[in-house]
Amino acid sequence: MSFAEIIRIMDELDAKLIVLLCHHNADPDAICSAYALSSLIKKYKPQAKVEIGAAQGISRLSKHILKYLPITLEAQPHIENANLIIFLDTNTIQQLNNLAEKVKAAKAPIIVVDHHAAHPETEKIAKLCITDENASSTCEIIYNFYKQANMKIEGNEAKALFLGIAFDTRHFVLAGSSTLKTIAELIDTGLNAQEVLAMLSLPMDFSERVARLKACRRAKLFKIREWIIALSHVSAYQASAARAIIDLGAHVAVVAGQKNESLEISLRCTREFHEKTGIHLGKDVAKPLGEYLKGMGGGHATAAGVNGVGEIEVGLKRCLRFLREKLTQT
Ligand SMILES: [Mn+2]
């Protein structure tokens, strides 16, 4: 399975409009792989129009990257007129959110390019799935397309692929030997690794810095068994503040904020806390806390959030109680 097959399908269809789609809240791997693939397609089909669309916008970090790379995103990609649709970094149609209905209604064949295993439902609707679970990122797969096509990669495309790989490997921590070789080859094209890597750091607003520092100063610490739990409050940037408190050394950080009647709470914990206690912040703490606060709560094992109504003090106290109950059960 390779880029040659994509070209063959484009030739068969005499494709004039090709729409590349990224998952909702598209991350740097998604937008950068779409950008590099669009450039590669244009080299083969200079007459064809290639659009890149992302369901319900892109992530904050992706927006930041757009300041450095000339990636054009269509708010309303012309899915209905497309001759070919290609999903990037996206393995289910549900990840396309608001664009899913249009894709379902479209007549164009679908190709999936992803480093996650193809979902059985997606395999049914796709004409071709190019998936490689050994690839670090979708960008690495696109890099291999360039190699297969014997196309030189340089300039902005090289930067884009470098960024996507750096992001998905958490700045190379998760990169294996073949990924690092790819990275070395990208650096050999002449890109400045330090300079490009810096594009992945979001500049922090002044108000965010103040919010994080205030939340740390106000934190109340509790020790339950061997775990340090920090409760705090700040009127904005609760999630960022909770991350800051974890970085400082707490195992669990809960940061609340009140706006008028509504109460927002962000929860974070270390991976170690989740693994050793089995506590899932989203299911075990945020969900019941959301119900208690007459709102909603949920999230991941180590990062969760709650929206509800009530006083900060009440929300934090109840949260501590849920944690204490869970910790004394295990
Ligand atoms: Mn990815």
Distance 10 CA to ligand 1 centre (A): 24
Are residues 238 and 169 both part of a single domain? no
E strand or H helix at 263: strand 262-269
Picking from 260, 268, 264, 262, the residue whose alpha carbon sits closest to that of residue 233 is 264
Are residues 166 and 241 both part of a single domain? no
Distance 40 CA to ligand 1 centre (A): 19
Q: CB neighbours (10 Å) of residue 247? A: 13
- Walk across the sheet containing 128-131 and list its strands: 49-54, 17-22, 84-88, 110-114, 128-131
Distance 305 CA to ligand 1 centre (A): 24
Model pLDDT for residues 159-186, shown as the tens digit of each residue: 999 999 999 999 999 999 999 999 999 9
Distance 167 CA to ligand 1 centre (A): 8
Distance 31 CA to ligand 1 centre (A): 10
Distance 209 CA to ligand 1 centre (A): 29
CATH number of the domain enclosing 153: 3.90.1640.10
Are residues 9 and 132 both part of a single domain? yes
Are residues 224 and 151 both part of a single domain? no
- The reported pLDDT for the residue numbered 330 is 60
Are residues 142 and 178 both part of a single domain? yes
Distance 172 CA to ligand 1 centre (A): 13
pLDDT beneath 50: ranges in the chain: none
Are residues 84 and 144 both part of a single domain? yes
Distance 216 CA to ligand 1 centre (A): 33
Are residues 324 and 238 both part of a single domain? yes
Distance 288 CA to ligand 1 centre (A): 32
Are residues 35 and 98 both part of a single domain? yes
Distance 22 CA to ligand 1 centre (A): 10
Distance 314 CA to ligand 1 centre (A): 39
Distance 115 CA to ligand 1 centre (A): 7
Report the distance separating Cα 143 and Cα 186, nearest Å. 9
Distance 29 CA to ligand 1 centre (A): 5
- The reported pLDDT for the residue numbered 1 is 55
- The reported pLDDT for the residue numbered 260 is 83
Are residues 220 and 82 both part of a single domain? no
The residue written with tokens 């070919």 in the block is: 84
The residue type found at 22 is: C
Q: What angle do CA 278, 282, 285 make, to 5 degrees?
A: 75
Q: Among the three residues 145, 166, 200, which one is the final residue of a domain in this structure? A: 200
Distance 32 CA to ligand 1 centre (A): 10
- The reported pLDDT for the residue numbered 254 is 98
Q: Among the three residues 141, 169, 200, which one is the final residue of a domain in this structure? A: 200
Distance 89 CA to ligand 1 centre (A): 5
Are residues 80 and 228 both part of a single domain? no
Report the distance separating Cα 115 and Cα 321, nearest Å. 41
Are residues 289 and 307 both part of a single domain? yes
CATH number of the domain enclosing 308: 3.10.310.40
Distance 52 CA to ligand 1 centre (A): 16
Q: Which residues of 309-322 are buried (b: 16+ CB within 10 A; e: fewer)?
A: ebebeebbebbbeb
Give the domain extent around 151. Answer: 3-200
The residues with which 113 forms a beta bridge, in sequence order, are 88, 130
Are residues 149 and 229 both part of a single domain? no
- Walk across the sheet containing 303-309 and list its strands: 220-224, 227-233, 252-259, 262-269, 303-309, 296-299
Report the distance separating Cα 109 and Cα 86, nearest Å. 8
Distance 130 CA to ligand 1 centre (A): 14
- Per the structure, the count of domains in the chain is 2
Q: Among the three residues 184, 200, 216, which one is the final residue of a domain in this structure? A: 200
